[in-house]
Structure 1
Amino acid sequence: MQSIIWLVDRLNLVLTYLIGLLLAVMTFAVLTQVLVRFVLTAAGVNISAAWTEEVARYVLIWIVFLGAGIGCRRRQLISLEFVVRWLPPLPGQGLVHAGLLLCLGFFGLLISVGLAFMELGAVETSPVMQIPKAWVYAAMPAGASLMILNTAVLIAETLLQRRDIRTVADAAEGVE
């Protein structure tokens, strides 16, 4: 099991660098859009860079879904913690595990819906760049698959190491 945890953590590291690269691409697209729309127009140069809006939007979609997948590994997604932290250890941890099992079901639903969107996107293209929308819609099942993988590894790791799952996010941030 430790080797699977290690592999998932390495995958997440690679994806973190990929997200950084995607963030740089999005930043470049937005900066180009601002320069073309405001700076060059103010200078009397009227050119169009319609691709920048699509690139920024589609890259942001991928960043969100990949980042959510990585966030599941350390329980760093937004949640209300005051009830589970107020409860004694056993019921509090049980409630967190129950919530994570519900999340796994929801992530499975996201995969199903994302695959259906991809089928529609196979015949639909983006307005400016003319790329198949299936590439954009693929972010949902890819991200949801990562969410399932990382949530399952989180649950397995905390059970195997007998750690309090409620403090995983604190340990990731160095708060413990």
Structure 2
Amino acid sequence: MRSIVVAVDWLNLALTYLIGLLLAVMSVAVLTQVLVRFVLTAMGINISAAWTEEVARYVLIWVVFLGAGIGCRRRQLISLEFVVRALPSLPGQAVVYLGQLACIGFFGLLVSVGLAFMELGAVESSPVMQVPKAWVYAAMPAGASLMILNTAVLMADTLLRRRDIRLVGDTVEGVE
């Protein structure tokens, strides 16, 4: 089991670098759009770069879903924790594990809905770049699958190490 945890952590590291690259692509696209729309227009040069808006939007969609998957491993998605922190250790951890299982169920629903969107996107393409929308919609099932994997690995890792799952991702107290 430990080797699976290590493999998932390596996958997350590789995806973190991919996300960084995607953020750079998105930044270049947005900067290009600003330059074309405002700077060049102010200089009297009227050209269009409609592709930049689509690139920025579609890359952002992928960044959000991949980043959420990595956030699940580190337990860094937004949650209200005042109740589980107020409970004694074992009941508090049990509530967190039940919440994580509910999240896995929701992520499974996202996979299903995302696959249905991909079927619709197979016959649809983006207006400017003519990219099949299935590639854009694939971010949802890919990201949700990553969320399922990382949530399961988080739960397994904390159980194997006998760590309090409530403290994972707790950077305020310097635990992580």
TM-score by length of 2: 0.98
Q: Within 1, Cα distance between the matches of 2:5 and 2:173?
A: 20
Which consecutive unaligned segments of at least 5 residues does structure 1 have?
none
Distance 2:84 2:4 in 1: 28
The alpha carbon displacement at 1:107 in A equals 0.2
AA in 2 matched with 1:48: S
Larger mean Cα displacement after TM superposition, 77-86 or 48-57: 77-86
- 1:175 pairs with 2:171: no
> Which runs of structure 1 show a deviation greater than 2 angstroms over 4 or more consecutive aligned residues?
none
Secondary structure of 1:170's counterpart equals: coil
Deviates more, 1:6-15 or 1:155-164: 155-164
1:110-134 per-position Cα deviation (integer Å, ceiling 9, x unaligned): 0000000000000000000001000
CA displacement at 1:174 relative to structure 2: 6.9
Q: CA deviation at 1:81?
A: 1.0
**Gaps (5+ residues) in structure 2?**
none
Q: Deviations over 1:2-52 (max 9, x none)?
A: 100000000000000000000000000000000000000000000000000
Q: How many residues align?
A: 175
Aligned to 1:94: 94
Q: Secondary structure at the match of 2:159?
A: helix
Match of 2:57 in 1: 57
Q: Superposition pairs for residues 1-176 of structure 1, below 5 Å?
A: 1-170=1-170, 175-176=174-175
Judging changes above 3 Å, is the alpha-carbon distance between structure 1 residues 103 and 130 closer, same or farther for their aligned structure 2 residues? same
CA distance in 2, matches of 1:62, 1:7: 22
State, as a whole percentage, how many aligned pairs show the same letter. 81
TM-score by length of 1: 0.98
CA RMSD in angstroms, aligned pairs only:
1.0
1:73 partner amino acid: R
- Which whole-Å CA distance do the structure 2 matches of 1:43 and 1:165 have between them? 57
Residue identity in the other structure for 2:11: L
